[in-house]
Structure 1
Amino acid sequence: MAEITLTPRAAKRINEIMATEPEGSMLRISVNGGGCSGFQYAFDIESKRQEDDLLVERDGAAVVVDQVSIQYMDGSVIDFVDDLIGQSFKIENPHATASCGCGTSFSL
């Protein structure tokens, strides 16, 4: 079974975002072709979970990942960083061989 981990910082930020969304909303993270390195992460808010989605939960935060994206994200750690260049979700992906400065694009 695939495994994706949320850090406490990511869970806290997801909960802050979802506090302004309708009840039952969750963050969907997916991998799409494109970006400057070949693949890119997409972040969306959804109210419905698909039957075959992987559900990742921590401290009340919920993230769903579709079956196609799981193969690219298995073993990843989702974190939230707040540094000089701004705030963003950061995905530490063990399958990525290179990434881009934008932080949402990677190659395998």
Structure 2
Amino acid sequence: MSQTADFSVVVSDAAAKRIAAILSASGPEASALRISVEGGGCSGFSYKYDLTNAAEPDDVVIDRDGARVLIDPMSLTFMEGAVVDFVDDLMGQSFQIRNPNAVASCGCGTSFSV
């Protein structure tokens, strides 16, 4: 059974609104946004975003304002204390993760090192 997050990862208001809109537009094909950390990228690790319907038994589940975010335990170790945000500015729209564990990141903001 999935567990509710202890808010070690925070989803901002802007991110929750955008995730809820994406999930709403996806219909029955997706009920959650999975965020995971993978090896690779120009700084060593990178974030991966996937739409999914199924939570794994050990996933941490963050529900906020119609948005559901799933994070697996291994990824959570790299994301502890992070804030998931959505930015809409002159440079474009994107999810951004402000991760206090990252000691360096690349210019694109999707990869980091610890």
Displacement after TM superposition at 1:2 (Å): 6.7
Q: Is the 8 A contact 1:2 1:74 kept in 2?
A: no
1:62 is matched with: 68
Displacement after TM superposition at 1:107 (Å): 0.5
CA distance in 2, matches of 1:30, 1:104: 11
SS in 1 for 2:102: coil
State how 1:1-108 maps to structure 2 within 5 Å.
Answer: 3-23=8-28, 25-108=31-114
CA distance in 2, matches of 1:2, 1:8: 14
Q: Is the 8 A contact 1:76 1:92 kept in 2?
A: yes
Gaps of 5+ in 2: 1-5
Gaps of 5+ in 1: none
**Letter of the 1:79 counterpart:** D
Shift of the 33–2 alpha-carbon distance from structure 1 to 2, 3 Å rule, reads: farther
Displacement after TM superposition at 1:84 (Å): 1.3
TM-score normalised by length of structure 2: 0.90
TM-score normalised by length of structure 1: 0.95
**Letter of the 2:54 counterpart:** K
**Letter of the 1:19 counterpart:** S
Question: RMSD in angstroms over aligned alpha carbons?
Answer: 1.2
| Percent of aligned pairs with the same amino acid | 53
Q: Is the 8 A contact 1:2 1:70 kept in 2?
A: no
SS in 1 for 2:46: strand
Query: After TM superposition, which residue ranges in structure 1, 4 or more long, deviate above 3 angstroms?
Result: none
Aligned pair count? 108
Bigger Cα displacement from structure 2, 17-26 vs 66-75 = 17-26
